[in-house]
């Protein structure tokens, strides 16, 4: 039977194009590109590849301004994940992604497949995934909707990560009413690989065979990430849109584990020419991106694709986001060995097409061409939207919160302290992270509860040896700061993530970002985005942490209510000897207690104190001076290397009081602290200010002079706070005394009680 070279056009293609989210201008571009009306399959692939999620059409102009190069960067933006050289022939790859909208529609599977998707991004680079961090943001904890979403998301993360055997070692759990209809489920994964064995998602040679490895293709997840992440929700408080449930992918972590081991053996044997995860947009995306990077084409027989549901149409097969699938390119000489390796691991592998010398992406079904379009048009020539931009001004940004009177008695100050320490975003998140396996693979040196996770790198198949070398990872975000001032807020977020890494003694070297915003069709949202990118770029440049990749999540909006602009930064640091990593728990009574870094400045704008005591978001966020921050981080790394520090914990949400209390509570034995207040500021400002570039450190009394000398040599301000004690109380001389046994209960139970659960 003769094969048609021109696919049949879709029935009523323009209305269908609108239904799929394409604008009339975009449809006209497709017609001009093809020289004819598109087929249904072509409309499907263009709609997902040109969606906001896949093409970054509203954001890519701004993203190009971010710093992306550094001496350790082996692979930057444009691949599945960034790759960083950590020395000794070893590299690590890491990236953060979002699965926000699917996690609202179906919390368990949305979160689970978010974990699975980012693990495969790391696997695609040639790495063994070794750890996960999960920054989470939810709405009002008193809401039944929030409680249902928290339960489903946490169970989904634990189910997938625990079952597949990748440790969950950190993250954040925050609450704010703005996330009521749009929870944020961001997931970071890191993996390790030989520095000379990076896998790239590009075709290399015409005639190479395209092999689909992994699960069968089904209707679950059709347009999942691309559709759900490119449209806002219409409902109100917690109203599920049941029609969107089929768009949420369904994961199988046990199949994912087999996929990991199959791919790692294929890499070790050097059997692949290229590989790409089938994430957003499925086969359409993986084939288009791999072909376009090489200026080549691909021809795929959709009848060869293993299906769970044989009645699927061509466009459904192309756009399905069914999980645990990879597309590998294999030389014909290696095909039999590739199939044998996968079979030995019980992982299905099926040849479905081949690389061609032209630039066409051709798909056939039933012997007929159903799709014939240039690969570059799909992957590289998507629209760029010059969205209208308006300056964003928060209605309460000019409130003088730092000039307001605070508590006037010790009892009022004590009540404020307990309110902050029991706030759901400050209180212990143990009821969340205890559901995660944080030690599987035996590389976790510091896990949940640390300022940054610290991981010992494993020995690698193929000869590269990590020795004692390790990495530190932290994720941070603060939507309240960025709502009040997007540019300054973004600087603060970058600095905090890098500072948390430096607190462990690791040198921050690279970053990945997850940018969560409302609808880009609103000029003020694009104003927030523009300013966040400006602040982020300035801070990353100043602190030496170039962006290696990431994710933009727009349309986090229900009706006219958008989330706070919420950039989340993941920062990677390198440490030569993980046995020397510094923790954040006080070590021993009698240790000297200092606050190093910038002097404490008024800084209650957007603070946890304002929210916990007054339910207000107001004032300007604290201002950061990046030269002070850089000097502080360098001091922390040097002091750790010199063996001077017994502990280090940064001052962030909740202020100095929260930092000291957490270090007391995390000590192995009951320890307290006796500190002298700074007289230049009102006591509530000094205790609750979130002004940046400050770290509370301890050192053995005999080493205090060495620490002070290091600070003096580097021009870093230092304030003597007091001493660690063994009486299980925090005493602020002349102002406040807290019984840490009582505080421990409030801190331990705060999140559970906020979620309506009994105390622990």
Q: What is the DSSP string of 345-406?
A: TT--EEEEEEEESSSEEEEEETTEEEEEEEHHHHHT--------------TTTT--GGGS--
d(CA 47, CA 42): 8
Of 66-70, 291-295, 606-610, 686-690, the range with the lowest mean pLDDT is 291-295
pLDDT of residue 208: 97
466 neighbors 457 (Cβ within 8 angstroms): yes
d(CA 78, CA 292): 12
Active-site annotation holder among 99, 101, 159, 564? 99
Of 2-16, 44-58, 735-749, the range with the lowest mean pLDDT is 2-16
Share of the chain above pLDDT 90, in %: 88
Residue 737 pLDDT greater than 50, yes or no: yes
pLDDT of residue 464: 59
Residue 234 pLDDT greater than 50, yes or no: no
Residue 240 pLDDT greater than 80, yes or no: no
Angle between helices 626-641 and 486-503 (to 10 degrees): 10
pLDDT of residue 203: 81
Q: Can you say whether the dihedral through the CA atoms of 652, 657, 660, 663 is positive or negative?
A: negative
d(CA 630, CA 155): 38
What 3-state DSSP class applies to 499? helix
Residue 760 binned pLDDT confidence (cut-offs 50, 70, 90): low
Residues 456-483, mean pLDDT to the nearest whole number: 87
Residues 560-566, mean pLDDT to the nearest whole number: 95
Residue 5 binned pLDDT confidence (cut-offs 50, 70, 90): low
pLDDT of residue 461: 66
Which residue(s) pair with 84 in the sheet?
73, 92
pLDDT of residue 236: 37
pLDDT of residue 488: 98
Q: In angstroms, how far is CA 739 from the centroid of its own chain?
A: 37
Residue 68 binned pLDDT confidence (cut-offs 50, 70, 90): very high
What predicted TM-score, i.e. pTM, was given to this entire model?
Answer: 0.95
Residue 7 binned pLDDT confidence (cut-offs 50, 70, 90): confident
Active-site annotation holder among 53, 159, 394, 649? 53
Condensed to tens digits (0 to 9), the pLDDT of residues 243-268 reads: 444 557 888 999 999 999 999 999 99
The dihedral formed by the CA atoms of 428, 572, 111 and 584, expressed in degrees to the nearest 10:
-10
pLDDT of residue 244: 47
d(CA 456, CA 695): 24
Residue 466 pLDDT greater than 90, yes or no: no
CB atoms within 10 A of CB 572: 30
Q: Which of 454, 431, 420 is nearest to 656 (CA)?
A: 420
pLDDT of residue 202: 86
> Does residue 717 carry a catalytic annotation?
no
Of 196-205, 451-460, 501-510, 653-662, the range with the lowest mean pLDDT is 196-205
Residue 229 binned pLDDT confidence (cut-offs 50, 70, 90): very low
Number of H helices, E strands in the chain: 25, 28
Residues 675-688, mean pLDDT to the nearest whole number: 93
The average confidence (pLDDT) of the chain is 93
Condensed to tens digits (0 to 9), the pLDDT of residues 583-600 reads: 999 999 999 999 999 999
pLDDT of residue 232: 55
Tell me the chain's radius of gyration from C-alpha atoms: 26
> Does residue 53 carry a catalytic annotation?
yes
pLDDT of residue 375: 96
Q: In angstroms, how far is CA 714 from the centroid of its own chain?
A: 33
Residue 408 binned pLDDT confidence (cut-offs 50, 70, 90): confident
Residues 228-253, mean pLDDT to the nearest whole number: 54
């Amino acid at each position: 039977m003769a094969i048609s070279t021109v696919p049949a056009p879709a029935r009523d293609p323009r209305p269908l194009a609108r239904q799929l989210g394409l604008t009339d201008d975009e449809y006209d571009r497709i017609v001009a590109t093809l020289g004819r009306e598109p087929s249904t399959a072509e409309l499907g692939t263009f709609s997902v590849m040109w969606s906001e999620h896949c093409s970054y059409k509203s954001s890519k102009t701004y993203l190009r301004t971010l710093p992306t190069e550094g001496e350790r960067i082996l692979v930057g933006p444009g691949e599945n994940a960034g790759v960083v050289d950590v020395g000794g022939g070893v590299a690590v790859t890491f990236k953060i992604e979002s699965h926000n909208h699917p996690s609202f529609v179906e919390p368990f599977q949305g979160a689970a497949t978010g974990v699975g998707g980012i693990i495969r991004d790391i696997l695609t680079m040639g790495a063994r995934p070794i750890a996960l961090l999960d920054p989470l943001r939810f709405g009002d904890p008193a809401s039944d909707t929030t409680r249902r979403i928290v339960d489903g998301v946490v169970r989904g993360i634990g189910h997938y990560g625990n079952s597949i055997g990748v440790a969950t070692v950190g993250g954040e759990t925050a609450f704010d009413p703005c996330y009521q209809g749009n929870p944020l489920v961001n997931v970071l994964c890191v993996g390790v690989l030989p520095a000379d064995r990076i896998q790239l998602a590009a075709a290399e040679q015409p005639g190479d065979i395209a092999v689909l490895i992994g699960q069968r293709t089904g209707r679950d997840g059709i347009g999942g990430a691309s559709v759900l992440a490119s449209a806002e929700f219409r409902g109100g408080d917690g109203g599920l849109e049941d029609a969107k449930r089929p768009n949420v992918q369904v994961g199988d972590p046990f199949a994912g584990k087999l996929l990991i081991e199959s791919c790692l053996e294929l890499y070790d044997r050097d059997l692949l020419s290229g590989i790409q995860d089938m994430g957003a947009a499925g086969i359409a995306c993986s084939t288009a991106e791999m072909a376009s990077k090489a200026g080549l084409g691909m021809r795929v027989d959709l009848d060869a694709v293993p299906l769970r549901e044989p009645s699927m149409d061509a466009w459904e097969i192309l756009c399905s986001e069914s999980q645990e699938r990879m597309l590998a390119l294999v030389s014909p000489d290696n095909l039999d060995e590739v199939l044998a390796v996968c079979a030995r691991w019980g992982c299905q592998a099926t040849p479905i097409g081949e690389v061609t010398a032209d630039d066409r992406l051709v798909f056939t079904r039933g012997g007929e061409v159903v799709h014939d379009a240039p690969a570059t048009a799909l992957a590289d020539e998507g629209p760029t939207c010059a969205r209208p931009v308006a300056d964003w001004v928060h209605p309460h940004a000019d409130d003088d919160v730092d000039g307001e009177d605070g508590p006037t008695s010790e009892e009022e100050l004590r009540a404020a302290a307990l309110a902050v320490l029991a706030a759901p975003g400050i209180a212990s998140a143990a009821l969340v992270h205890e559901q995660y396996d944080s030690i599987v693979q035996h590389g976790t040196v510091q896990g949940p509860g640390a300022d940054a996770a610290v991981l010992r790198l494993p020995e690698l198949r193929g000869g590269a040896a990590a020795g004692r070398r390790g990495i530190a990872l932290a994720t941070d975000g603060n939507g309240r700061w960025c709502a009040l001032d997007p540019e300054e807020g973004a600087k603060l977020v970058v600095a905090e993530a890098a500072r948390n890494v430096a607190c462990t003694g690791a040198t921050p070297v690279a970053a990945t970002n997850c940018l969560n915003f409302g609808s880009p069709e609103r000029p003020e949202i694009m104003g927030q985005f523009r300013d966040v990118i400006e602040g982020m770029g300035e801070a990353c440049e100043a602190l030496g942490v170039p962006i290696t990749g990431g994710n933009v999540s727009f349309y986090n909006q229900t009706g006219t209510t958008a989330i706070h602009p919420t950039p989340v930064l993941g920062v990677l640091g390198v440490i030569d000897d993980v046995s020397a990593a510094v923790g954040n728990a006080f070590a021993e009574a009698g240790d000297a207690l200092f606050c190093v870094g910038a002097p404490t400045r008024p800084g209650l704008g957007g603070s946890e104190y304002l929210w916990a005591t007054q339910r207000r978001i107001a004032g300007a966020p604290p201002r950061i001076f990046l030269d002070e921050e850089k000097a502080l981080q360098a001091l922390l790394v040097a002091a750790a290397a010199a063996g001077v520090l017994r502990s280090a914990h940064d001052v962030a949400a909740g202020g100095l009081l929260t930092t000291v209390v957490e270090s007391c509570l995390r000590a192995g034995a009951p320890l307290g602290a006796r500190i002298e207040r700074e007289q230049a500021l009102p006591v509530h400002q000094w205790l609750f200010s979130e002004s940046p570039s400050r770290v509370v450190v301890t050192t053995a009394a005999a080493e205090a002079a060495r620490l002070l000398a290091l600070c003096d040599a580097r021009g870093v301000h230092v304030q003597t706070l007091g001493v660690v004690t063994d009486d299980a109380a925090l005493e602020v001389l002349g102002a406040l005394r807290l019984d840490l046994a009582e505080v421990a209960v409030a801190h331990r139970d705060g999140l559970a009680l906020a979620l309506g659960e009994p105390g622990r």
